[in-house]
């Protein structure tokens, strides 16, 4: 209970300070609207916001899906084929060295104003953390487990399926958690560059019309959505690796 | 599909482990040259050495996990290699944390895509004294319980040769003694080769002891303590051999002097 209560208290406190600042310094509503007017606008335009949120949500989820599939595939290929590793690893590093955001206009140019370039952006952003984490997990299998399996007469394929893969799941989970946190960035950047729907698009539109409260409302919806995605994915991953003993970093002291 | 040594096909054998002219090392460094050694069948042979003399590497070579540059490891008098005839037990219990105790004991069958003999698993969990923890995952077990599961897993394999790499060294003194007794009792019909750094453990369990001495190259100094295991290492009759072992381990005596003194 306290776990939920504490962040709620902090959050409410921030909203109150914000409203207070707006009142005390008499800030113009088109610069910084108070939380009360943001919430009012959010309720008034709930239908519009939900519509745009749906577009952004599907971009994020599809990006997560494709990015994870590609990442898992690349990690497996790199872990199992020495040849592929020397080809793929530099590509992977370069793909991250080049700022992915800079690719957004190109993706829009190629794939148009629809959902595709945003999914592409999210996929690109997610691909690296998933690949890197899962590849690392596959490489760091406890050597003793592999020894044991070999004395038991296990084939290489069985060792992969029964030992290396499950052993790499905690690392994979870390990668997907990072991916879940950055996926909304990809989708929104894609929408900013060129789109006709989505929360990022709506924010820019409201910004242009100096309807700052509506812009903030869209921002709030995006934030709440991102947090929900993160916690749902985190819960699912915990279930997947329930066997892993929880280590509380604080307990190391 | 059944492995040749499994279940009813297994009977106490009269073959031990033979190592002949083994040369072991890497590109730049030769670790072992011309090593020959016999482990008597159906008894415990301890290889005793300090940390860092390559005990684990020797054992992993016997297990067929490391290939020697030349030389061979045979089982007993037939000149067949040991592949598929050894069970391996390490210092870490090597339990898979995502499997229950039962599933860990049946790991061999799972890895060979066979149907595990669950009745036997249950029996072994009972004999190793952990039947009440059959459904627990390794994370919920104590160090001693985990090593009991590892012992049950080793027994489940029904291999004539059991290679042990300091399997009890991570345990506290009381648990260690309990597990030594249990392992000795349950592995009496196997050829056991155990490496250890603990002279007490070697005296307690080893029908024969080989002290690993390093120098230009690793060689083994054989010692046969009086009596049969399980010995009591505090027995005054064993005092002189205990000192001989300590001396051999700390290089205060040459190998030949040691042999003269203990024979």
In a domain, B263, yes or no: yes
Give the model's pLDDT for residue B227: 81
Taking the C-alpha atoms of residue B206 and residue A56, their distance in angstroms, rounded to an integer, is 69
Contacts of B94 in chain A (CB under 8 A): 142, 144-145, 148
Task: Return the minimum-mean-pLDDT range out of A53-62, A216-225, A237-246, B131-140.
Answer: A237-246
Do B176 and B72 share a structural domain?
yes
Q: Which residue of A has its CA nearest to B97?
A: A243
Do B185 and B228 share a structural domain?
yes
By C-alpha distance, which of B129, B197, B141 is closest to B164?
B197
Asked whether the beta carbons of residue A166 and residue B96 sit closer than 8 angstroms, the reply is yes
Residues spanned by the domain of B118? 97-158
Q: Which of A145, A150, A151 is the closest to B96 by Cβ?
A: A145
pLDDT tens-digit series, residues A128-186: 899 999 999 999 999 999 999 999 989 988 999 999 999 999 999 999 999 999 999 99
In a domain, B14, yes or no: no
Asked whether the beta carbons of residue A153 and residue B137 sit closer than 8 angstroms, the reply is no
Q: How far is A245 from chain B (nearest CA, A)?
A: 6
Q: Which of A150, A162, A169 is the closest to B65 by Cβ?
A: A150
What ipTM was assigned to the predicted interfaces of this complex?
A: 0.82
Give the model's pLDDT for residue B77: 55
By C-alpha distance, which of A105, A77, A109, A107 is closest to A91?
A77
Q: Over 70: is that where the pLDDT of B9 sits?
A: no
Q: How far is A148 from chain B (nearest CA, A)?
A: 6
pLDDT tens-digit series, residues A194-220: 888 999 999 999 999 999 999 999 999
Looking at B158, B179, B206, the residue that finishes a domain is B158
Do B250 and B133 share a structural domain?
no
Count of structural domains, chain B: 2
Do B145 and B183 share a structural domain?
no
pLDDT tens-digit series, residues B143-164: 999 999 999 999 999 888 899 9
- Residue A66 near residue A123, CB atoms below 8 Å: yes
Confidence of residue A252 (pLDDT cuts 50, 70, 90): very low
Contacts of A148 in chain B (CB under 8 A): 88, 90, 94, 107
In a domain, B149, yes or no: yes
Size of interface A-B (CB pairs under 8 A): 58
Q: Over 60: is that where the pLDDT of A88 sits?
A: yes
In a domain, B16, yes or no: no
Do B201 and B151 share a structural domain?
no
What is the rounded average pLDDT for all residues in chain B? 82
Give the model's pLDDT for residue B216: 67
Do B102 and B221 share a structural domain?
no
In a domain, B9, yes or no: no
The alpha helices in chain A, defined as continuous H runs, are: 2-24, 35-44, 46-80, 82-97, 104-111, 116-139, 143-151, 156-159, 165-193, 199-208, 212-240
Do B248 and B118 share a structural domain?
no
Q: How far is A75 from chain B (nearest CA, A)?
A: 22
Q: How far is A90 from chain B (nearest CA, A)?
A: 30
Q: Over 50: is that where the pLDDT of B12 sits?
A: no
Looking at B139, B158, B177, the residue that finishes a domain is B158
Q: How far is A159 from chain B (nearest CA, A)?
A: 7
Strands B208-213 and B219-223: antiparallel
Do B262 and B142 share a structural domain?
no
Buried b (16+ CB within 10 A) or exposed e, A30-45: eeebbbebbbebbeeb
Give the model's pLDDT for residue B2: 34
Q: Which residues contact B239 (CB under 8 A, 6 or more apart)?
A: none
Task: Return the minimum-mean-pLDDT range out of A29-33, A146-150, B50-54, B181-185.
Answer: B50-54
Task: Return the minimum-mean-pLDDT range out of A215-219, B36-40, B213-217.
Answer: B213-217
Give the model's pLDDT for residue B65: 86
Taking the C-alpha atoms of residue A71 and residue A65, their distance in angstroms, rounded to an integer, is 10
Give the model's pLDDT for residue A95: 74
Contacts of A150 in chain B (CB under 8 A): 64-65
User: CB-based contact (8 Å) between A145 and chain B?
Assistant: yes
Task: Return the minimum-mean-pLDDT range out of A8-12, A244-248, B76-80.
Answer: B76-80
Do B122 and B187 share a structural domain?
no
Do B204 and B137 share a structural domain?
no
Q: How far is A119 from chain B (nearest CA, A)?
A: 34
Q: Which of B90, B97, B157 is the closest to A244 by Cβ?
A: B97
Give the model's pLDDT for residue B81: 65
Looking at B130, B158, B186, the residue that finishes a domain is B158
Contacts of A144 in chain B (CB under 8 A): 90, 92, 94
Angle, helices A116-139 vs A46-80, to 10°: value is 40
- Hey, what are A219's tokens? 């921002």
Using the structure block, give the residue that is written with the tokens 């067929």: B64
Do B103 and B36 share a structural domain?
no
- Hey, what are B112's tokens? 């060979």
Do B80 and B52 share a structural domain?
yes
Q: Which of A144, A153, A244 is the closest to B84 by Cβ?
A: A153
pLDDT tens-digit series, residues B66-124: 888 777 777 665 556 666 788 999 888 999 999 999 999 999 999 999 999 999 999 99
Give the model's pLDDT for residue A2: 72
Highest mean pLDDT among A17-31, B27-41, B43-57, B213-227: A17-31
In a domain, B179, yes or no: yes
In a domain, B125, yes or no: yes
Q: How far is B160 from chain A (nearest CA, A)?
A: 13
Kindly report the three-state secondary structure assignment for every residue of B120-182: HHHHHHHHCCCHHHCCCCHHHCCHHHHHHHHHHHHHHCCCCEEEEECCCCCCCHHHHHHHHHH
Which domains does chain A carry?
Answer: 34-241 (1.10.3720.10)
Give the model's pLDDT for residue B106: 95
Q: Which of B90, B92, B139 is the closest to A245 by Cβ?
A: B139
Cis omega (within 30 of 0) for bond into B230: yes
User: CB-based contact (8 Å) between A154 and chain B?
Assistant: yes
Contacts of A154 in chain B (CB under 8 A): 111-112
In a domain, B77, yes or no: yes
- B81 DSSP 8-state letter: B
Contacts of A160 in chain B (CB under 8 A): none
CATH code for position B262: 3.40.50.300
Q: Which of A147, A154, A243 is the closest to B111 by Cβ?
A: A154
């Amino acid at each position: 209970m306290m776990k939920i209560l504490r962040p709620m208290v902090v959050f409410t406190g921030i909203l109150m300070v914000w409203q207070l600042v707006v009142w005390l310094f008499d800030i113009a509503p088109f610069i910084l609207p108070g939380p009360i007017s943001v919430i009012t606008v959010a309720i008034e335009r709930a239908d519009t916001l939900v519509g745009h949120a749906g577009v952004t949500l599907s971009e994020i989820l599809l990006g997560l899906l494709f990015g994870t599939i590609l990442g898992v595939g690349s990690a497996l290929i790199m872990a199992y084929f020495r040849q592929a590793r020397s080809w793929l690893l530099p590509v992977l590093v370069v793909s991250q060295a080049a700022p992915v955001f800079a690719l957004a206009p190109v993706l829009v140019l190629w794939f148009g104003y629809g959902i595709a370039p945003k999914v592409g952006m999210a996929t690109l952003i997610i691909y690296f953390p998933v690949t890197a984490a899962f590849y690392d997990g596959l490489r760091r299998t406890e050597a003793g487990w592999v020894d044991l399996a070999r004395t038991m007469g296990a084939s290489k394929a069985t060792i992969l399926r029964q030992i290396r893969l499950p052993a790499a799941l905690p690392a994979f989970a870390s990668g997907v958690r990072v991916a879940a946190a950055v996926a909304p960035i990809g989708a929104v950047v894609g929408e900013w560059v060129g789109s006709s729907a989505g929360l990022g698009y709506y924010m820019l539109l409201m910004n242009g019309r100096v309807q700052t409260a509506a812009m903030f409302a869209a921002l709030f919806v995006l934030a709440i959505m991102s947090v929900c995605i993160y916690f749902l994915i985190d819960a699912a991953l915990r279930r997947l690796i329930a066997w892993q003993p929880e280590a509380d970093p604080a307990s190391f002291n | 599909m059944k492995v040749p040594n499994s279940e009813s096909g297994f009977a106490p054998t009269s073959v031990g482990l033979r190592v002949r002219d083994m040369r072991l090392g890497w590109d730049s460094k030769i670790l072992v040259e011309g090593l020959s050694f016999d482990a008597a069948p159906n008894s415990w042979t301890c290889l005793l050495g300090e940390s860092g003399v390559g005990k684990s590497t020797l054992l992993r070579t016997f297990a067929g996990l490391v290939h020697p540059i030349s030389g061979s490891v045979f089982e007993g008098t037939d000149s067949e290699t040991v592949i598929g005839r050894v069970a391996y037990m390490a210092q870490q219990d090597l339990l898979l944390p995502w499997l229950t105790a039962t599933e860990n004991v049946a790991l061999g069958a799972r890895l060979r895509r066979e149907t595990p003999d669950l009745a036997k698993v249950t029996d072994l969990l009972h004999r190793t004294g952990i039947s009440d923890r059959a459904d627990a995952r390794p994370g919920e077990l104590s160090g001693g319980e985990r090593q009991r599961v590892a012992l049950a897993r080793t027994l489940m394999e029904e291999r004539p040769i059991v290679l042990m790499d300091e399997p009890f060294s991570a345990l506290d003194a009381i648990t260690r003694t309990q597990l030594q007794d249990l392992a000795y009792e349950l592995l009496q019909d196997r050829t056991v080769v155990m490496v250890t750094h603990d002279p007490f453990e070697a005296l307690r369990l080893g029908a024969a002891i080989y002290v690993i001495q390093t120098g230009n190259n690793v060689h083994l100094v054989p010692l046969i303590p009086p009596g049969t295991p399980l010995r009591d290492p505090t027995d005054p009759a064993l005092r002189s051999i205990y000192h001989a072992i300590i001396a051999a381990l700390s290089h205060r005596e040459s190998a030949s002097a040691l042999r003269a003194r203990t024979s």
